[in-house]
Amino acid sequence: MASESHTNYTAIWAVLLALLFASVGAVYLPFSPALTTAFIFLVATVKAVMIAVYFMHLREETQLIRSLLWAPVVLFIIMTLALVPDIVVERLSDGSAPEVSAPAH
Amino acid sequence: MDVTHVSEGQANRETSYAKMAIWWFLASEVMTFGGFLAAYMLYRMQAAGSWSVLAAGLNPWIATANTVVLLTSSLTIVKAHQAMQHDDQARARKMLGLTVLLGVVFLGFKAVEYSIEISHGYTPVTHIFWSFYYALTGLHGLHVVAGIVVNAVLFVHAGKGKLTLARAEAAGLYWHFVDVVWVFLFPLLYLSY
Amino acid sequence: MEHAIHPEPTTFLRKHVFSVDHKVIGRQYLILGMVWALIGGLSAYLIRSQLAWPGKSIVGASLLFEGGVVLPEAYNALLTMHGTIMVFFVAMPILLGALGNFLVPLMIGARDMAFPRLNMASFWIITTASVILILSMFVPGGTAAAGWTAYPPLSARTAYTGVALGQALWILALALEFVSFLMGGVNILTTAITMRAPGMTMMRLPLMVWMQMSASVLFMLSVGPLIAGAILLLMDGLIGTNFFVPLAGGGGGDPLLWQHLFWFFGHPEVYVILLPGIGVLTEVLPTFSRKPIFSYKTILYATIVAGVLSFLVWAHHMFTSGMNPLMVMSFSITTILISVPFTLIIFALIGTLIGGSIKMTVPMLFAVGTIACFIVGGITGIFLGSAIVDTYMHDTYFVVAHFHYTLFPTVILGGLAGFYFWFPKMFGKTLNPVLGHLHFWLTAISFNILFLALFRVGLGGQVRRVWMSAPSLEPLQHLNVTATWAAIAMLLGQIPFLVNIVWTALAGTPAPGNPWNSNSLEWQTASPPPHENFAEIPTVHRGPYEYSAPGNDEDWMAQDAEPTSAAAG
Amino acid sequence: MLNWFPPEVSTFGQDVDSVFWLIFWIGLAWFIVAEGIIIFCLIKYRRGKGRKATYFDGNSWKQASWILIPGALVLCLDLAVDFAGGHAYHKVKGELPASDVKVRVQGEQFAWTFTYPGPDGLFDTADDKETPTLDVPIHRPVHIYLRSKDVIHSFFIPTVRIKQDALPGREIALWFEADIAGRYEIACAELCGPLHYNMRTFLNVHTAEEYAAWVSETWGDN
């Protein structure tokens, strides 16, 4: 069925760990929060793609299964971007919101 | 009833029932976690950085160790799948056992982390950040538990030499998915601004 | 190695109750859907009676409400249950569960679904969800009463509606229903892709199979955010978190987020219900026009385009909800554009009638009735798609009439077209056509009177989900009364249908394997099909719509008939 | 024309109605075309004695054009409706025109309350007045600042053709200018609990003199 994959999984695993420590370390570097956040999520995306391609053998899959991964990711991005102008807005903070809220402060 | 009759549609996709089903399932799971992560990210953006002071209540070191554990478990389960390609049931069994063990270690770390946070007074109703923290890690944790159960069952099958490649591959795909979710959860919760 | 078919069950339990046979599961879904349809119909009767004669005692309601009077809290619970039952426990089980499960393996020439046990589990999960939904009506605090859309903060806090456990059980019932149809969707897709008979290429699939597959894909890609939202809403209700309830100090959650998560799922959901309805039409119309479906490719590509677009239109349910006006404009444009693929599909279905030799049997009557009514639904959608007109129309009875004109034809009229068409194949007996015709005219006429009256009431400014219409709308009250009498006539119109079923079950004449001389594979085996569907897996030589093919004396040619002359499609 | 709507009394009411009628006539035309073809086919092609169906599957471009052309026509009409609707929408929901008449509308479970800033023009000052009905002058734009105290309500004045959900935790601004004096009904359009049907009040559009009298009577002292 799938070709005898001789890719060295341990090497990929090592790279993943390296990327992990890079992103954890990045938090302590004196860059602006925006830059650090961008770097961290870039690293996370690279790790996700590596796992998908190597560990989940995506390269050997049919186009249908690859599209199964792309469709939800694209829909997720569209939904999140479409919601930004509605949720990420300044809200009332002068106490006129509901009194009947949870005991949580 | 003629069992040997092999139709053109079935022959080239015979072993992919389990894989086809898992990928469809993972597509809907990506959307479910996507809905969660979208809600969390949007609220965090709306809070414009005010959550980072709350996130200080988290312990990134345990989480980093957890990420190492989960990445390693992804390695062991892909080795189990590799072993199954050579129909090496014994090695697959060893690797599956390691995966189950690492999964339990992950949950152990999580339990320790939860107890620390609750002892500091951070409960799901403390603040919406903590509500999201417990909701996200809780749901992910449940998926880890489900993965451990499946892998344990396959571990027993491998012990009796009855494990099939399709099932090992499907369990592997599911476990890698759970790992990918954590790969995104970790920076979102512990490292972001 | 062919997927070994499960052995034929022997005990009554394995044969009829805990069965893994897709045919038995299809029948079980059908019965579940029809029982819920009666309950949903009775709740509609109570709602309409309260609107026509506010505060009065309703005939037959005294066993539910003391004195037969529906109070406002009970009214809100009724409208919540009516919406939830009709969408999730009638439309989905009948169109996806019954028709999907029963037809897909037969139409592609397979012996059963790819995962028979998963298929059985999906039925028993939705049955558990049904039990939970019924239990949620009898818990302290009453039934969920925040509408089937359950907008927070109304649905998130007990203080606002007095409902405590009812809302949580309602969410749980929905979550289980989603799990059930996720399993069903995986099954249909895996089966249709990997288990087709030899020669059954993707372009020779009957369009019903394509519609079931696209409906499953739409459902699986859209349900995720709502599952996330449901879990958050559950935590808001039970634990008291603030995901959707804002805090006085400006923190806390945002109710708009729930609306987005709900409608991101909500709109693809209505296409999940619509597409199998169109799938019924693409099988019934060619069979009784003795003519191929008009432009198989256009319908297929229009369905795919409509499916993709359906993920980009959800916010037209929220034009007046405080959304950013720029977002409102972009969603208004995509919403109005989605009328184009559906125009193509509807005109292609009408094109199937042109040049045909049409026999108005009962299934054909229901199918043509479905198209005729759906056209009204589609056109009134344009009003609601235009943001400025929707500002006036939103949450009025115009919207209620619009979505009934789209959902009712596809689920009830389209579902009944499928029921009368495949009843001989499913149950091996022939229904009485006279009762069928009577059933159609009673249902169709009363449906049109009911909702045309509500269009007018909606234009007059009557707001939706109100226990009593506004005093300023007194001049339109006679329309409310007419609509209620039409609703009662429609419910009574179902009696010939029930009589027909009972009479056929007891004394119906056995049905032949291919009563309508139709081409697709399910008609090429016995009625009802044996346990393993086909004695021998058929080899397919042509598409499913080769009716009146030139050079062929018969006016039909089964998909698996040997190619005798040059007529091989 | 057919008087299906309540009379429109605001400056942009005419725009809303004109877009409605534009869609109505286009829709009616398509309705007649589509239903006409169906009825025509059912009669002409019914299975009489020996009527044989003609075989064409519509997959060739020539035949498919029978439906692609109407589809393209619908696309063009859709775009026309988009532009007409978009223009009117921008007029209603675009930036608010300048105005000195401001009212804070607060929706709470089962009542609307209206707060007027009073002579100093500022909210949350001593001279604010709160009334159960919305009193506005004629021919002058009015700013509404919509809030909600508990659940989602929807501020709906049919005759003025505006509707806007009141979200708890947010203040949403909208405007209208009434050009016919009178007393018009205000309703809540979003399900907000058991007495949602009863959450109604009135919009009083006063002529200039009446408005002055109302102002002096409400703020009697100065």
Residue of C443, C439, C447, C446 lying closest to C500 (CA atoms): C439
Does D38 lie at the interface with C, CB-CB under 8 angstroms? yes
Does A98 lie at the interface with D, CB-CB under 8 angstroms? yes
- For residues A51 and A68, state if they share a domain: no
**How confident is the model over C417-432, as pLDDT tens digits?**
999 999 999 999 999 9
Please indicate whether, in this complex, the C-beta atoms of C199 and B8 are within 8 angstroms of each other.
yes
Chain C interface, mutation test: which of B36, B42, B126, B130, most C Cβ atoms within 10 Å? B36
Size of interface B-C (CB pairs under 8 A): 127
C383 min Cα distance to partner chain B (Å): 30
- For residues A44 and A18, state if they share a domain: yes
d(Cα C509, Cα C428) in Å, to the nearest integer?
9
CATH number of D101-218: 2.60.40.420
- For residues C532 and C503, state if they share a domain: no
Please indicate whether, in this complex, the C-beta atoms of A33 and B49 are within 8 angstroms of each other.
yes
Residues in chain A closer than 8 A to D151 (CB atoms): 98
Dihedral sign for Cα atoms in the order D138, D142, D144, D145: negative
d(Cα C247, Cα B125) in Å, to the nearest integer?
12
- For residues C477 and C519, state if they share a domain: no
Residues in chain C closer than 8 A to A69 (CB atoms): none
**How confident is the model over D17-53, as pLDDT tens digits?**
999 999 999 999 999 999 999 999 999 888 877 677 8
Residue of C193, C245, C181 lying closest to C32 (CA atoms): C181
pLDDT surpassing 60 at residue C568: no
pLDDT surpassing 90 at residue D91: no
What residues make up the domain containing C360? 279-507
pLDDT surpassing 60 at residue C566: no
Please indicate whether, in this complex, the C-beta atoms of A92 and D169 are within 8 angstroms of each other.
yes
- For residues A19 and A44, state if they share a domain: yes
Domain CATH code at residue C94: 1.20.210.10
Q: How far apart are the first and last CA of chain A?
A: 58
Domain for residue A21, yes or no? yes
Residue C4: per-residue pLDDT: 62
Residue B15: per-residue pLDDT: 47
pLDDT surpassing 70 at residue C363: yes
- Minimal-distance CA residue of chain A relative to B168: A56
**How confident is the model over D189-203, as pLDDT tens digits?**
999 999 999 999 999
Please indicate whether, in this complex, the C-beta atoms of C147 and D191 are within 8 angstroms of each other.
yes
**How confident is the model over C439-493, as pLDDT tens digits?**
999 999 999 999 999 999 999 999 999 999 888 899 999 999 999 999 999 999 9
d(Cα D167, Cα D148) in Å, to the nearest integer?
6
Domain for residue C268, yes or no? no
Residue C444: per-residue pLDDT: 96
- For residues C26 and C126, state if they share a domain: yes
- As a three-state string, the secondary structure of chain D is CCCCCCCCCECCHHHHHHHHHHHHHHHHHHHHHHHHHHHHHHHHCECCCCCCCCCCCCCCHHHHHHHHHHHHHHHHHHHHHHHHHHHHHHHHHCCCCCCCEEEEEEEECCEEEEEECCCCCCCCCCCCEEECCEEEECCCCEEEEEEECCCCEEEEEHHHCEEEEECECCCEEEEECECCCEEEEEEECCCCCHHHHHCCEEEEEECHHHHHHHHHHHCCCC
**Minimum-distance CB partner of B126 among A4, A10, A104:** A104
- For residues A70 and A42, state if they share a domain: no
Please indicate whether, in this complex, the C-beta atoms of A92 and D149 are within 8 angstroms of each other.
no
CATH number of B18-191: 1.20.120.80
Domain for residue C228, yes or no? yes
- For residues A80 and A43, state if they share a domain: no
Residue A95: per-residue pLDDT: 58
Number of domains in chain A: 2
* Chains touching chain A, criterion 3+ CB pairs below 8 Å: B, C, D
Residues in chain A closer than 8 A to B23 (CB atoms): 61, 65, 68-69
Residue A104: per-residue pLDDT: 35
Does A88 lie at the interface with D, CB-CB under 8 angstroms? no
* Chains touching chain D, criterion 3+ CB pairs below 8 Å: A, C
Domain for residue C269, yes or no? no
DSSP string, C152-206: TTTTT-HHHHS-SHHHHHHHHHHHHHHHHHHHHHHHHHHHHHH-PPTT--GGGS-
- Minimal-distance CA residue of chain D relative to C369: D38
**How confident is the model over C493-502, as pLDDT tens digits?**
999 999 999 9
Chain centroid to Cα B163, Å, comes to 21
* pTM for the predicted model, two decimal places: 0.93
Domain for residue C270, yes or no? no
Q: What pLDDT band is residue C518 in, cutting at 50, 70 and 90?
A: very high
C303 min Cα distance to partner chain D (Å): 14
Domain for residue A15, yes or no? yes
Domain for residue A98, yes or no? no
d(Cα C368, Cα C91) in Å, to the nearest integer?
19
Q: What percent of chain C has pLDDT over 90?
A: 74
**How confident is the model over C30-57, as pLDDT tens digits?**
999 999 999 999 999 999 999 999 988 8
- For residues A51 and A67, state if they share a domain: no
Domain ranges in chain B are 18-191
**Minimum-distance CB partner of B128 among C1, C118, C253:** C253
Do chains D and B meet with 3 or more Cβ pairs nearer than 8 Å?
Answer: no
pLDDT surpassing 50 at residue C526: yes
pLDDT surpassing 70 at residue C1: no
- For residues A50 and A77, state if they share a domain: no
Task: Give me chain B's average pLDDT, please.
Answer: 87
Chain A interface, mutation test: which of D122, D146, D150, D172, most A Cβ atoms within 10 Å? D150
Q: How far apart are the first and last CA of chain D?
A: 48
User: Which segments of chain D belong to CATH 2.60.40.420?
Assistant: 101-218
pLDDT surpassing 70 at residue B2: no
What residues make up the domain containing A26? 8-56
- For residues A47 and A67, state if they share a domain: no
B135 min Cα distance to partner chain C (Å): 8
Structure-model confidence comparison of residues C537 and C552, the more confident one: C537
Identify residue C340 by its one-letter amino acid code. V
Run of H or E including C378: helix C362-385
Residue D219: per-residue pLDDT: 83
B49 min Cα distance to partner chain C (Å): 13
Range of weakest confidence among C303-312, C553-562, D142-151: C553-562
What does DSSP say about strands D101-108 and D111-116: parallel, antiparallel, or unpaired?
Answer: antiparallel
Task: Give me chain D's average pLDDT, please.
Answer: 89
Residue of D151, D164, D167, A97 lying closest to C145 (CA atoms): D151
Does B30 lie at the interface with C, CB-CB under 8 angstroms? yes
Please indicate whether, in this complex, the C-beta atoms of C225 and A79 are within 8 angstroms of each other.
yes
Does A100 lie at the interface with D, CB-CB under 8 angstroms? yes
Burial C332-359 (b: 16+ CB within 10 A, else e): bbbbbbbbbbbbbbbbbbbbbbbbbbbe
- For residues A23 and A52, state if they share a domain: yes
Domain for residue A92, yes or no? no
**How confident is the model over C310-336, as pLDDT tens digits?**
999 999 999 999 898 899 999 999 998
Residue B1: per-residue pLDDT: 33
Chain C interface, mutation test: which of A76, A80, A83, A92, most C Cβ atoms within 10 Å? A83
The answer to whether C58 touches C49, Cβ cutoff 8 Å, is yes
pLDDT surpassing 50 at residue C294: yes
Domain for residue A17, yes or no? yes
Beta-bridge partners for D106: D113, D147
Structure tokens at A28: 């302590």
Domain for residue A16, yes or no? yes
- For residues A45 and A31, state if they share a domain: yes
Does B120 lie at the interface with C, CB-CB under 8 angstroms? no
d(Cα C17, Cα C19) in Å, to the nearest integer?
6
Please indicate whether, in this complex, the C-beta atoms of B193 and A17 are within 8 angstroms of each other.
no
- Minimal-distance CA residue of chain D relative to A100: D150
Place of tokens 């049905």: C511
- For residues C500 and C534, state if they share a domain: no
The answer to whether C141 touches C166, Cβ cutoff 8 Å, is yes
- For residues A50 and A67, state if they share a domain: no
**Minimum-distance CB partner of C537 among B5, B32, B131:** B5
- Minimal-distance CA residue of chain A relative to D168: A97
Average pLDDT over residues C509-513: 91
Domain for residue C382, yes or no? yes
Residue A5: per-residue pLDDT: 53
Please indicate whether, in this complex, the C-beta atoms of C224 and B34 are within 8 angstroms of each other.
yes
A80 min Cα distance to partner chain B (Å): 6
Residue A96: per-residue pLDDT: 56
Residues in chain A closer than 8 A to D149 (CB atoms): 96-99
pLDDT surpassing 90 at residue C219: yes
- For residues A42 and A17, state if they share a domain: yes
Residue C288: per-residue pLDDT: 93
Average pLDDT over residues C100-114: 93
Size of interface A-D (CB pairs under 8 A): 21
Residue C222: per-residue pLDDT: 95
Q: What pLDDT band is residue B17 in, cutting at 50, 70 and 90?
A: confident
**Minimum-distance CB partner of B191 among A1, A2, A40:** A40
Residue C567: per-residue pLDDT: 44
Residue B8: per-residue pLDDT: 38
pLDDT surpassing 90 at residue A97: no
